[in-house]
Structure 1
Amino acid sequence: MNGHLSRLLPAFAVLIGLAGASSQAADPEFTWIDDAEAGVCDLMLGDQPVLRYVYGVDESSDEAAFDTAKVFHHVYGPGSDTLITKGPGGKYPHHRGLYVGWNKTTFDGKTQDFWHCRNGEVQRHVEFVEREANADGASMTALIHWIDKEGEPVIEEQRTVAASRFETDAGPGYGWQIDWSTEIHSLRGEIILDGDRQHAGFQFRAAQYVAETDNARYIRPEGFPQQPEAYQVDDRTAPDEHVDLGWLAMTFEVGDERFTAEYFEDPSMPSPSRYSERPYGRFGAFFTTTVTEDEPLEMRYRVNVTAGDPPTQEAIQARYDAYVDAEE
C-alpha cells in the first residue's frame, strides 16, 4: 500500500466516525417550550412544530374573555409549519382545535354550557402535572378546572396528550400519532353530561380555511355511508343514526396542502356514541353520561394526522384495529 495513503486511512476513519456520530446526534428530539406569559406551551420536533397547548387568560374585554374561555390543543401539519386547526374567531368561534365539552352540563339542579362558554362558564388551566419529551415522543398532563358562571369549580379534569411519529407512504414519510385522554372528576356531586352530537363530546376543528371553502371530505368504516361529502345527521330527527362507528377520518386542504385526521374512539367509551361531521371541518363524537365524586369519567381517543394523499379505508381500519388490540 502507498505509504502516504496508509497514513491517511486512519484519519479518514476518524472523520467517517465523527460524521456518523454527528448524524446520530442531529436526529431531532421532541421538546416542550412553555411561554407562560403568552399562555401557550409548544411541542416541537427539532424545529418542526407539532402541537400547541393554549391556556392563557385575558379578561381585558368581553371579546378577549370569550377568546380565552377554554383550553385546547392546536395541531400542525406533519413536515410543515402550517397550523391545521382553528382557534378563536372564524365560523363558530367556540370551535377550537382538539377540545371537549358538553352544552348541557347539569349539577346542583341547574344546567350550564361548557361547549360554547358564552355565559361566564370557563375551562381554566390550573397547572402542569407532568411534561416529558425525548426522541421517541412526548406527553403532557394538565390540571384543568371547569368553572361555572358563578365562579365556582364544577369539574376537575386531568387532560393528557401524548404525541409521537409513525411511518407513512405519503407526505414527508411520517405522521403524528396523538393520544388524547382525560379524567373528569366531579366537584359537585352528581353531574349529568348531555347535549347533542353537534355541541358536545371530544371533537376536532380544522383551520378556518376549510370552512371558507367547505372542502372537508370523509372516510368511514365499511357498513356506514361511503359518500365523501359530510353525512349530516340531526339528533332531533335521527338520534340513533350514525352511531358507534369506532373511527372516522376527515381529509381537507389548508391552502395548497392536504392533510387527513383519523379519529379513533376507544371501545370502552359509553354507547351510543353519536358521530358528527360537517363540510366546514368539525368532526367527532358525543355521548351522554353521569359522573359523581366517586365515579369519574375516563375518556381515551387517538388522532392520527398525515400529510399528502389521504390513506385508504383499509389502511385506516388496520391502524384502528391495532389501536383497539393494544388497548385490550
Structure 2
Amino acid sequence: MLPPVPLRAADSPFSAKLQEGQFADVFHNGRRAIRYVIAWDPDRYNETYKPFLHVFDAEGASPITSGPGAKQYPHHRGIFIGWNKVLFAGKPHGFWGMGGGAHQKHVKFLASNLAPDGALLAGLVHWNLKDGKTLIEEERTQVLLPSTRPTLALIDFTSRLTPVAGDVVLDGDPEHAGVHYRPHDDVDRKATKYLFHADGVTPGRGKDTDLPWVAEQYTLQGKTYSVQQMSHPDNPKGTEWSAYRDYGRFGAWFKKDLKKGETLTIRYRFRVAEGDLLAREEYQKSWEQFARSPTPKSYK
C-alpha cells in the first residue's frame, strides 16, 4: 500500500491514484502523466517480472512507452533498470530478460508525497532468484517534476542498489544492462533519430563513455516525441551508452563490483516531450540543472 499521505494535495498540481497491487498513476494538472507498474504474480510471470514506469501521451489516455504486450523485446518496458549478468557465488543471473525465473519484485512503497515541487514515489524492490532468494535490495525513487508543454513528463529516477546475500558484480553490455527508455512498440522505425552533446560521438561497446546525456526522437501513430536521458556526474565512470536502435530503446550502463551491504546510488533524469528534438544547447542547459540538483533522500 501507499503510505498514509493524501493522494491529492490542495497546494500541489499533482495527484495520484493507486490500483492496489497493480500500478500507481500520477497526474499533473489533472492529466495522467506517468504510471508506475508494480504487479507481481508468479502465475503471470512473463507479464509481471519487473516493475517499470510508463509515460503517457498529451491526453493522458495511452502510454507512449512499451510494456509486456510488445511484439518485439517485451522485456523492454518503459523506464526500467536491470543487468543481464548479475554475478553471485560464481554464477550469472539474468535481471534484464528475466530468464530462469529471476524477477524484480515490488515489495512495498516506502514513501509518497505530493508537493508543489514534485510528486514522489519511493518503493522497495527485491531482485530475487526463482526460489525467492533476494540478491539485491533496491530503493527506487521516482519524482515527477513540474513542467510546461511541450514537456509531457520530467522524471527523476534514483536507484539505490544493495547486495544482501553476498558480493555481486553487475555485468553485461550496452544492449542488456543499465537504465533504459523504451518507446512504444508501434514506432515508425524509419523516423527514429538521436542527438548527442557534441559532434562525432560514437555510442556503444568500447566506444565513447560518460556522456552527460543522450536525446532521441521517435514517431508513434503519426505523432512525434522526443526524450532526453541525463546521467548524473556522480554516476560510475566508464558508463557506455546504447543509442542507435531504430525501435528506440536506449540507455546507459556500466559494470560494477559491489560488496555485501554496500549501497550504490545512481541517478538519471528523463525529459519526455511532444515534437521534434530541441537544440543541443537546450538539452545541455537541462543537464546542467540536473547536475546541480540535490540527491533525493533515502526512505529505508
Q: TM-score, normalised by structure 2?
A: 0.88
* Change beyond 3 A, Cα 1:28–1:158: closer
* Change beyond 3 A, Cα 1:326–1:54: closer
Task: Please point out which of 17, 36, 41 is paired with 1:33.
Answer: 17
Residues 229-260 of structure 1, C-alpha deviation per residue, up to 9 Å, x if partnerless? xx663x3xxx2x13211100011111122111
C-alpha distance in 1 between matches for 2:62 and 2:124 = 28
| Counterpart AA for 1:184 | L
Cα pair 1:77 1:306 within 8 Å, conserved? no
Deviation, 1:271, is 1.5
Cα pair 1:85 1:97 within 8 Å, conserved? yes
**Is 1:273 aligned to residue 239 of structure 2?**
yes
Deviation, 1:55, is 1.1
Task: Please point out which of 95, 102, 105 is paired with 2:76.
Answer: 95
2:50 aligns with 70
3-state SS, counterpart of residue 281 of structure 2: helix
Deviation, 1:173, is 4.5
Cα pair 1:215 1:280 within 8 Å, conserved? no
Deviation, 1:27, is 9.2
More helix by share: 1
Percent identity, please: 31
1:12 aligns with none
C-alpha distance in 2 between matches for 1:174 and 1:101 = 26
**Is 1:322 aligned to residue 289 of structure 2?**
yes
* Change beyond 3 A, Cα 1:91–1:56: same
Task: Please point out which of 75, 78, 81 is paired with 2:61.
Answer: 81
**Is 1:309 aligned to residue 248 of structure 2?**
no
C-alpha distance in 1 between matches for 2:120 and 2:200 = 34
Gaps of 5+ in 2: 1-8, 296-300
Residues 286-313 of structure 1, C-alpha deviation per residue, up to 9 Å, x if partnerless? 1000122332110101001111232111
**Is 1:176 aligned to residue 153 of structure 2?**
yes
Cα pair 2:164 2:261 within 8 Å, conserved? no
Task: Please point out which of 262, 265, 276 is paired with 1:295.
Answer: 262
Task: Please point out which of 155, 172, 177 is paired with 1:200.
Answer: 177
1:190 aligns with 167
How many positions carry a matched residue from both structures?
285
| Counterpart AA for 1:280 | Y
1:132 aligns with 113
3-state SS, counterpart of residue 209 of structure 1: coil
**TM alignment of 1:116-155, pairs within 5 A:** 116-155=97-136
Cα pair 1:31 1:134 within 8 Å, conserved? no
C-alpha distance in 2 between matches for 1:313 and 1:224 = 14
In angstroms, what is the RMSD of aligned CA positions? 2.1
Residues 5-62 of structure 1, C-alpha deviation per residue, up to 9 Å, x if partnerless? xxxxxxxxxxxxxxxxxxxx9997211211115x1111112431111111112333xx
1:252 aligns with 218
C-alpha distance in 2 between matches for 1:147 and 1:326 = 32
| Counterpart AA for 2:276 | D
Task: Please point out which of 3, 20, 35 is paired with 1:52.
Answer: 35
C-alpha distance in 2 between matches for 1:214 and 1:174 = 23
1:115 aligns with 96
C-alpha distance in 2 between matches for 1:254 and 1:154 = 37
Which structure: larger Rg?
A: 1
C-alpha distance in 1 between matches for 2:56 and 2:280 = 23
1:21 aligns with none
3-state SS, counterpart of residue 145 of structure 2: strand
**TM alignment of 1:223-234, pairs within 5 A:** 223-225=199-201, 233=204
Cα pair 1:157 1:182 within 8 Å, conserved? yes
Cα pair 1:35 1:41 within 8 Å, conserved? yes
* Change beyond 3 A, Cα 1:321–1:46: closer
| Counterpart AA for 2:76 | H
| Counterpart AA for 1:213 | R
2:230 aligns with 264
C-alpha distance in 1 between matches for 2:268 and 2:200 = 20
3-state SS, counterpart of residue 198 of structure 2: coil
Task: Please point out which of 189, 192, 200 is paired with 1:216.
Answer: 192
C-alpha distance in 2 between matches for 1:290 and 1:131 = 31
